[in-house]
Chains A and B, each alone.
Chain A
């Protein structure tokens, strides 16, 4: 169903289902329709029973063993992330496209590019979005912009209808059927896409004007196995409040340090929610996104690696809005962590098949990044409480679970591991050109507490509402009129200078 244009023939409900849930139909074992399969439930139940039995029979030994395993995992994860940071700092690992190369790209060499923009309750940002897309440096006759509007979102549809739109933008109404997720809408967009390449942008996104051209050039330059190019994401309102400052540091660390490091080490890359540029044909071959996964981007990154396709990072930034409201921020985080857990469980259903598909090295990386992210966030509070308890009360009971080698590793994680992550944030802020946020990066431990709150919320939702999409509210910066002059400058320039370019 199209909006704002003459309606073409509408697909039937059955056809819609086929479009939305193609992955479920073709590869059900890779779909998060059911988070846990029966064998997985059995294994988890069995492991829990064994653990409980051990705790009853040998409580101290069992707890020491669990503690030891977790501490060693932490240590390996810290070392792994340290390696990623170091590799990404050695030199620029991303694909770099120079302005001269962009200028040399002729309009007739630009293929049709589909831009999917899923919208839900986005009335505040709609006008800004249209203006932002209009600023893209790409031949307009080669643009195929599809706004994906939800059937029950009457406000956005009404606002959309009032807009005077250029010809390359069309609206498509996504029928109201569960689950109400972004990937479900994107699958419809993929079905309707006309472009050779396809990219997703969120409502509040401001991609760098030449990003599409850079992606086209990058695709011509890389190996045929590269079917996805992820642009970097960052925020145009980093200084709105303390939360956005810390969020910016985290995002800079993720997109400027970890992902380029993963790229260099040829690991599965958990894609960011937007600005992932695909070869449309290959995306169709992968049956699109998993409509039931709430971090469909992360899942797709793993599926790409599983099929021996590569993802690369592009040195171009899309500026997003950092969530400035704690409540919405926690909701957003809970969805991310829930999605990571979903993705992890889905791909662990057939461990041997995963090993075959990814190989040992990438499987290791998968367990570190996709598994490690939620595991650490969930377990961190336990260790914080234990550490605090020990510091305050000097309790021998706590010390009992940390016999000598374990206490040494634990101390290493506490003092070195945490430093690595804080200092990583410092370096990320510095490298991004957010020199004033270097100080803020020192407050990251407080931010980790918030991350753990979000993680636990998401983890509990896995049981109660596994496919529920916690919507992130956009346009808060506009509503509160809180954009500072500095932020405006950052958004306008959209390319902070790098420290090593001085």
Chain B
């Protein structure tokens, strides 16, 4: 592979990008701690995994909604008091991942001789575009997915040009990682597989074609198989991740309701298109053609980021914006936590499910909220003999904080 930027240049760029992004994270969260539910849940699961709690083992295997890789990334921070379980670790991890993405894009664009004066503003525009910046600041796995997709696009382009083994291997490994970050990427892996088949279709002997496809597919198949095996080893059920602790109907609802986040997939594709046009511009003969291609490339690359601003600032309601979509849920959790702190300061509150992690994260009194993955009445009785109990459980058939007012706990009982 051609070394487009020297190692030192890449390290310096990475360090500078990381410092800037961490400063942004700090600036944002000093003012308002608004992390996504995903970040809170993953951090909570990670903390329990590190504490050796059996329920934390689910963090290793994840679920269909939240595949395991992002949780594993946040594990090193999960034990840091307040920081680890509040979900704040995720924006920090995301800052690192974003710095990697920017470094990759910088190298990529510089390989196409995009001048620094164009390259750096373009990268800034990309990073501060609402979906990218919001994903980084509010935590969650979207930033990881973006890195995987961008890197995947990079290696795909390189492999299509050179057929070198390393790009193919990285493409395969990234496919495997993508599958355990978003299960929908199985389709993407299949699509890239088809592109690979198309590329090698007319080349060399049959063994070469078969070998090439295998080299690409092995990591994805392995990670997928590992997911099943992990579920079997840890939870005793190879398809546990498909339903988790929920019933089958909830599972179906989850699959249907899963946010496809199409902008995640569109962005690398458009970047690919932009870069491809840049290449054409470089190779084009004649000033007119070259200028034309360059203009198209710049328009596409600017369009990738520009339309996001239009959508965020003019076309979206505040609560549906990339930054604001978690506010409703967070404010409702905060409301309940404040209610209990004010009127029942002595109460020990048992919270369950993934939603329960949010109460633990948002409460200032860590003793008052006890999280259990499933409500075990005997365990609760044992711990709270003679005390008044509150159960906070998600209302069936309604997403938390959705159509019903959650300003009161959904169920109360007294354990005497």
The chain A residues found within 8 Å of chain B, CB to CB, are 86, 89-91, 391, 403-404, 408, 411, 415, 419, 423, 426-427, 429-431, 435-436, 438-439, 442, 499-500, 502
Residues of A within 8 A of B162 (CB): 500
Residue numbers in B under 8 Å from A419 (CB-CB): 219, 222
CB within 8 Å of A: which B193-209 residues: 203-205, 207-208
Indicate whether A423 sits within 8 Å of B219 (C-beta atoms), given known contacts A391-B233, A499-B165, A500-B164.
yes
Q: Which of B210-218, B275-283, B341-349, B398-406 contacts A (4 or more CB under 8 A)?
A: B210-218
B24 at interface (Cβ–Cβ under 8 A)? Answer: no
CB contact between A426 and one of B163, B203, B204, B214 (< 8 Å): that residue: B214
Cα–Cα, bound, A91→B233 (Å): 40
Docked-complex contact A430 and B215, CB < 8 angstroms: yes
Q: How large is the interface on B (under 10, 10 to 19, 20 to 34, 35 or more residues)?
A: 20 to 34
7 A-B residue pairs with Cβ-Cβ distance under 8 Å, sorted by A, are A404-B50, A423-B169, A427-B165, A427-B169, A435-B211, A438-B210, A438-B214
Contacts of B219 in A (CB 8 A): 419, 423
The answer, among B1, B51, B205, B222, for a CB contact under 8 Å with A91, is B1
Q: B215–A427 contact, CB under 8 A?
A: yes
Which residues of A have CB within 8 Å of B366? none
Contact status A436-B207, CB under 8 Å: yes
Judge whether B215 and A438 touch: CB under 8 Å.
yes
Known: A423-B218, A436-B210, A499-B212. 8 other contacts (CB 8 A): A89-B164, A89-B166, A90-B166, A426-B218, A427-B169, A429-B211, A436-B211, A502-B208
A431 to B219, CA, bound (A): 17
Report A-chain residues with C-beta under 8 Å of the C-beta of B396.
Answer: none
Residue numbers in A under 8 Å from B208 (CB-CB): 435, 499, 502
Tell me the bound Cα distance from A435 to B214 in angstroms. Answer: 10
Given contacts A430-B211, A435-B211, A438-B215, contact A499 B52 (CB under 8 A): no
Residues of chain B with a CB closer than 8 A to A430's CB? 165, 211-212, 215
Contact in complex: A431, B165 (CB < 8 Å):
yes
A187 to chain B, nearest CB (A): 40
- How far is A502 from B161 in the complex, measured between Cα atoms in Å? 11
Q: Are A502 and B214 in contact (CB under 8 A)?
A: no
Q: 0/1 per residue, B43-61, Cβ < 8 Å to A?
A: 0000000111000000010
Contact assessment for A90 and B1 in the assembled complex, using a CB-CB cutoff below 8 Å: yes
Residue of B nearest to A439 (CB): B214
B255 at interface, CB cutoff 8 A = no
Q: Which residue of B lies closest to A420 (CB)?
A: B173
Report B-chain residues with C-beta under 8 Å of the C-beta of A408.
75
The answer to whether B203 touches A89, judged by C-beta atoms less than 8 angstroms apart, is no
Whole-angstrom distance between the alpha carbons of A419 and B222 in the complex? 8
**Smallest Cβ-Cβ distance to A408: which chain B residue:** B75
Least distance between A482 CB and chain B CB atoms (Å): 20
The contact string, 1 if C-beta is below 8 Å from chain A, for chain B 239-274, is 000000000000000000000000000000000000
A86, A90, A435, A499: the one within 8 Å of B163 (CB): A499
Question: Does B124 sit at the interface, judged by CB under 8 A?
Answer: no
Q: Is the CB of B218 within 8 A of A442?
A: yes
Q: Does B210 contact A435, Cβ atoms closer than 8 Å?
A: yes
Asked if B226 is at the interface (CB within 8 A of a chain A CB), the reply is yes
Closest to A431 in B: B165
User: Which chain A residue shows the least CB distance to B164?
Assistant: A500
Interface centre among B60, B162, B165, B226 (most CB of A within 10 A): B165
Question: How long is the Cα–Cα vector from A394 to B214 in the complex, in angstroms?
Answer: 34
Chain B contacts with A in 92-140, Cβ cutoff 8 A:
none
What separation, in Å, do the CA atoms of A171 and B209 have in the docked complex? 48
Residue of B nearest to A436 (CB): B207
Complex CA distance for A55 and B17, rounded to whole angstroms = 50
| Other-chain contact of B204, A89, A411, A502 (Cβ < 8 Å) | A502
Q: Please give, as numbers and ranges, the residues of chain A lying within 8 Å of B211 by CB-CB distance.
A: 429-430, 435-436, 438, 499
Residues in B neighbouring A429, C-beta threshold 8 A: 211
Of B50, B52, B215, chain A has the most CB atoms within 10 Å of the CB of B215
Neighbouring B residues of A499 by C-beta, 8 Å: 163-165, 208, 211-212
Q: Select B52's contact among A403, A426, A442, beta carbons within 8 Å.
A: A403
State how many angstroms separate the Cβ of B295 from the closest Cβ of chain A.
Answer: 34
List residues of chain A with CB within 8 A of the CB of B215. 426-427, 430, 438
Q: Which residues of B contact A502 (CB under 8 A)?
A: 163, 203-204, 208
Q: Name B204's closest neighbour in chain A (CB-CB).
A: A502
Q: Which B residues are in CB contact (< 8 Å) with A411?
A: 60
Assembled-state Cα–Cα distance A91/B158 (Å): 14
Q: Which 10 A-B pairs rank lowest in CB-CB distance, beginning with the nearest? A: A435-B211, A435-B207, A89-B166, A438-B211, A436-B207, A500-B164, A435-B208, A404-B52, A431-B165, A438-B214
Instruction: For the complex formed, measure the closest distance between the CB of A426 and the CB atoms of chain B, giving whole angstroms.
Output: 6
CA distance A502 to B208 in the complex (A): 10
Among A89, A403, A439, A442, point to the contact of B165 (Cβ < 8 A): A89
| B71 CB, nearest partner CB in chain A, Å | 12
Kindly provide the distance from the CB of A197 to the nearest chain B CB, expressed in whole angstroms: 32
Q: Which of B149-204 contact A (CB under 8 A)?
A: 162-166, 169, 173, 203-204
